Structure 1
């Protein structure tokens, strides 16, 4: 009797979170300093020095999250680049026998399944990393 090895599939959830304005702006929380820090009390775009876009990937098998920060736009290219960065820096080592990735997306914004651009970028990604 021949044993058939099940393919290794890892499951990830990924999504872009709220864009944040960069600069000397008020943020809730605690900061311990020896000198007072003066900030603007509102985070208007005009007071900031740009924005940062966090893109999160949650590895459900290892119960770990990974964040990629971008400063351009929330595009399908950025979403796929985040997944590629995760794969090259963490996924390859954590899952050496994986032959596919199951990416669970909310289906909005840059990773909308109805947008052909996201599908094209995903295909480019799998062609580049050599995994389904």
Structure 2
């Protein structure tokens, strides 16, 4: 099964809200590739293994978010190769993103949950923001090496500073212990939003993070229109959504508890915390500030792939 998964993983696609996965390679072609690796299996055996692993045959579905960039596939291959090199060197690789904002309170949450017949949980008729309870902004970090997730639940704004603070908290609470010899950190992220490749504050905040952690931060962004293919969508967010389906998100603590209780058969572990910090909007970054960053653009699509070096070298054992 490991050999089959290795053939599928770089090209695996799907709806992040679905536990199913699908692949564009035929069972015959997969069987031929496995045979070349000295795994004597036929197309029927491959089909059985795919079904057991959660794959299925599916028709087209309208999930593409825009016109495909001509370098889309090349960027996917670049990300896949970069992650492979990082893991081979024992360096951490994470996938990050902001999950959909949620209203906090006794509002209807999609899905169904078991209740005595005729006694559904009652919720509000209209979904208007409760100014007292506010909203929840979950920002996730998925550790691709250890199948572990971290979610900071913000209450203010989804900004680049919120994003990098979430990564910092993951490192302090989970990453540093699991990668004690790390010298660099690979981050894969969407191309837009608070961690977008055009967002100046994201790069400035990453520089501060690199300085704090003493790590080289390499970032690779997914090309336009492919946010649903981000690893964190399939390996973390989809399972969180499944876990809280049909449950009103009545408080921030309830949201934290539901996120932290998310598990999978593969052994996913999730930690979640409430971030009560305030993150102001519309912080301007000058050309001078941008030029002062220790940022090196990669040869291939330097707008999507770049590395930020720490300006202050810290021992990996130094307390943050």
TM class, shorter-length: 0.7 to 0.9
User: How many angstroms does 1:36 deviate by?
Assistant: 6.8
User: How many angstroms does 1:112 deviate by?
Assistant: 1.0
Residue 113 of structure 2 corresponds to: 30
User: How many angstroms does 1:63 deviate by?
Assistant: 1.4
2:215 partner SS = coil
Task: Give the ranges of 4+ consecutive aligned residues of structure 1 lying more than 6 Å apart after TM superposition.
Answer: none
Residue 103 of structure 1 corresponds to: 187
Confirm whether residue 73 of structure 1 aligns to residue 157 of structure 2: yes
Residue 116 of structure 1 corresponds to: 200
Measured against aligned partners, the alpha-carbon deviations of 1:15-67 in whole angstroms (never above 9, x if no partner) come to 0010000112112332659x874311342225873100001111101112221
Residue 14 of structure 1 corresponds to: 96
- The worse-fitting range, judged by mean Cα deviation, of 62-71 and 94-103 is 62-71
CA distance, structure 2, for counterparts of residue 57 and residue 40 of structure 1: 32
Structure holding more strand per residue:
1
Confirm whether residue 39 of structure 1 aligns to residue 123 of structure 2: yes
Task: Tell me: CA distance 1:47–1:124, structure 2 relative to 1, closer, same or farther (3 Å).
Answer: closer
Residue 146 of structure 2 corresponds to: 62
Task: Give the structure with higher Rg (CA).
Answer: 2
CA distance, structure 1, for counterparts of residue 172 and residue 142 of structure 2: 15
Paired residues, number: 126
Segments of structure 2 that go 5 or more residues without pairing to the other structure are 1-87, 217-320
Task: Tell me: CA distance 1:24–1:87, structure 2 relative to 1, closer, same or farther (3 Å).
Answer: same
Structure holding more helix per residue:
2
Normalising by structure 2, we get a TM-score of: 0.37
Segments of structure 1 that go 5 or more residues without pairing to the other structure are 1-5
